[in-house]
Amino acid sequence: MEHHRTRPPNHGPRRGTPRPPLPPQARRPAGERRPAPGAQRARPVRTARPVPPGPVPGPRLTGLGGGLFCTVVMFLLGLLDQLLFGSSLTLYGVLFLPVCVLTALWVRGSDVLTAPVVVPIAFAVGLFPAVDGSGGLLGRLVGLVTGLATQAGWLYGGTLISGVIVLMRRVLWVRARRRRT
């Protein structure tokens, strides 16, 4: 079947018909003249608006970044606890709480719900070097399970603190988004 080429229809205004008036934002002020053809127009310099400080100062981490931050810090704290204090699991639990708070505060608003998920994982990862592992790998695993069982209060407390901070931040974030729209 043959297709003949045709020109698309021209739906624009015909010559000689008046143009509709421009909207107010497209009109020029009364004293402003049109620049000469070929002349460069001076563009207005836009200055950056200052960004108002957010409700939570500090870095903005993605969900993955928050998980990595928490895991690496807890692993390093577990190593430090083992080297300096000889596996003081109570000290490890106390140090876990500020890491939970920082993780919950530094994760960006759209990824904030990941913080209560990553803090228990980071607790277990950091507990691995902190437990007494005198019996090799199997002894360290038994120490890890024992440490998780005996230090569950710190684990639940840090997760609860992180969850409460996250829920408060999420509510504030949703309210701010609703106000903007």
Average pLDDT of span 27-49: 62
Lowest mean pLDDT: which of 50-54, 74-78, 92-96, 128-132? 50-54
Question: For the chain, what are the domain ranges?
Answer: 63-180
**Residue of higher predicted confidence among 174 and 123:** 123
Cβ-Cβ contacts under 8 Å for 93 (sequence gap 6 or more): 151, 153, 154, 155, 158
Contact call for residues 89 and 110 (beta carbons, < 8 A): no
| pLDDT higher than threshold 70 for residue 12 | no
Residue among 125, 130, 129, 72 nearest 102 (CA)? 72
Helix or strand (DSSP H, E) at 130: helix 115-130
Q: Are the beta carbons of 94 and 141 closer than 8 angstroms?
A: no
pTM above 0.75, yes or no: no
Residue 121's contacts (CB-CB under 8 Å, 6 or more residues apart) are 67, 71
β-bridge partners, 107: 61
Measure the CA–CA gap between 72 and 38, rounded to whole angstroms.
60
Confidence band for 80, pLDDT divided at 50, 70 and 90: very high
Q: What stretch of H or E contains 78?
A: helix 63-85
